[in-house]
Amino acid sequence: MKYQHLVSLALVAALLLTGCGGATAPTAPANSGAAAKSTASTAVQTAQKERITDQYTLEKNVSGVWGEEAVQYISVHVPQLECDSPDAVSLNKELAAIYAADFREYEAYEEAGQPGGEYPQIGVGWDAYWYGDCVSLVVRSRYDGAAPWRYSGWCFDFATGQQLTVAELLQRMGLDPDTVQQQVQRQAMQAFDREMAQGAYYEGLRLGGELSQMRMDTLEYNELENLCLLLPEQDQLVLRGKYSCEEGWQQLDVEIPLTSAAPADTPVLTDTYDGVQVQLEGTQGTITLSPAPKTATWDTELNLRLEQVHTYPILGSYNEYVDVCIGQQTDSVFHPVIYLLTKDGVVEYVDVLRCLLLGNAMICQDPIYFANNGVSLERSGNSKVNLHRKDGSVLELAELSSEWSAQEIPYSVTGSYNYTDENGWSWMDLTSDGSVQMGIQDNSRMDQGDAAYLGVVPEGVVLAIFTDAGLDFVAAFKMDQYNENLTLTMIDGQNPFAEGETQLQMTRSYG
């Protein structure tokens, strides 16, 4: 017994001497903190719990918090990494600055209410989820007893004493961060679209570009760097994000399997109509245009010549689809539109001719949220597409898709921006109604034109820019509100500000 006890003590000591108390085990996910569950030995569990402690605590009932007279229960536990590496010291200071400072003034408040009473709780708490020597530290905070908890996460490796990104920890688990990123963003957008279709919030949001902004915000928030990583059970990984809606942000937990499953049979959805073909298979969608009698009319009517077969990927599609159908929006000119029916019964669409006229990129527009409760799509005798609904009603989609395309530019990317490189100073003005002005290379070329909103992709809001002088391109625009930088990612055409560059940053100008 004495020998076993010494071995246990030696193991704990060895763990605490490796790196910042790093351990060589466990290799399986193990959760620690407030809801600790571990598959490791008792000695390793003890060592893990000692790696993270509270650097600041406050437990008391007070009144007058944030100007409210009612009694509230303050429970503050700000975590601290027990490690002296530079990354750990920096992270501990960051946690203190974010969470401890707001509550220190209440240390001097008199105790209010009855001890143990049921009062609204505000404060800070944390959980630690372990994967070997790596920990995902998830901190929850709430400053209003009626508000939902807010969650933020940090990842740290005690073996090396270095802070990790979520992507780096996913790699430690043998997962591809890019694949996980796509899974999370797809599920977030599906949750957002489902909420909008069911809630019918879109009426006052569409024309001002706010609806598109909310979709972009949902994509941006659910980038890996913004997510919390949870390991609530062995072999169970959850990434905690959220999605935007009219009533505010809603929490979204996306479960990612840590063990590979047998691939499911994915149905292939196709349709062909007068030289236009669409194919959907799993998360991939393509549109193929071929020379045909109908597409040949574009040459004479629109000065748009299609000389050979061309296949385009569908950008900006995030749902799972159960039906697809190609129709014609107008009778005066061949105007093909591809309608996609999601598993939740909502219609999305790709306006093929509009996309061709504004560039060579096929963008899936925002879903038509009032075209919902659908069960199937059907092309009628006049080449229009009808949506058959669960209640037996039929909805024609041509006018809806035409109306839905009329959206203003989302507010986050409008404004004035500068860009400077070896060729000199360039600038761009973009307004919410779509007016564009650009000065290229020290104003050696001045262009005026218009911008059309096409959809949202992870790289940003997709705009087609077209000018009277023929300086036309399609790009995704994403605004970093904190640093006030606009990132422009080229999708089609020539970058007007930096020839050959696919991505650049512009700085917001207030001049």
- With a CB cutoff of 8 Å and minimum separation 6, the contacts of 271 are 277, 278, 324, 325, 326, 338
508: which strand partners?
Answer: 417
**pLDDT for the residue numbered 201:** 61
Burial of residue 139 (CB within 10 Å: 0-12, 13-18, 19+) is: buried
Q: What is the pTM of this model?
A: 0.85
Which CATH number applies to 2-164?
A: 3.30.565.40
Q: pLDDT tens digits, residue range 15-64?
A: 444 467 555 433 333 333 333 334 434 455 566 889 999 999 999 999 88
Q: Do domains 2-164 and 411-508 have the same CATH topology?
A: no
Closest to 125 in 3D by CA, of 93, 91, 149: 149
**pLDDT for the residue numbered 269:** 96
**pLDDT for the residue numbered 405:** 82
- Tokens 């105007």 correspond to 335
3-state helix, strand, coil in the chain (%, to 5): 25, 40, 35
**pLDDT for the residue numbered 22:** 58
Task: Mention the CATH class of domain 411-508.
Answer: mainly beta
Residue by residue, pLDDT tens for the chain (511 residues) are 333 333 333 333 334 444 675 554 333 333 333 333 344 344 555 668 899 999 999 999 998 888 778 899 999 999 999 999 999 999 999 999 999 998 999 999 989 888 777 889 999 999 999 999 999 999 999 998 888 999 999 999 999 999 999 999 999 999 999 999 999 999 999 999 998 888 766 666 777 788 889 999 999 999 999 999 999 987 889 999 998 877 788 999 999 988 766 666 778 999 999 999 999 998 899 999 999 999 999 998 998 988 899 999 999 999 999 999 999 998 889 999 999 999 999 999 999 999 999 998 999 999 999 899 999 999 998 899 999 999 999 999 999 998 888 778 888 899 999 999 877 889 999 998 899 999 988 888 888 999 999 999 999 999 999 988 888 999 999 998 888 899 999 999 989 898 888 999 999 988 6
Distance of CA 298 to the CA centre of its chain: 37
**pLDDT for the residue numbered 470:** 81
Residue 104 tokens read as 């220190």
Q: pLDDT tens digits, residue range 424-473?
A: 889 999 998 899 999 988 888 888 999 999 999 999 999 999 988 888 99
**pLDDT for the residue numbered 67:** 79
| CA torsion through residues 82, 85, 88, 93, sign | positive
Task: Please state the domain extents for the chain.
Answer: 2-164, 177-257, 268-404, 411-508
**pLDDT for the residue numbered 235:** 82
Which residue intervals of 66-176 are DSSP H helices? 86-95, 166-172
What is the three-class DSSP state of 360?
coil
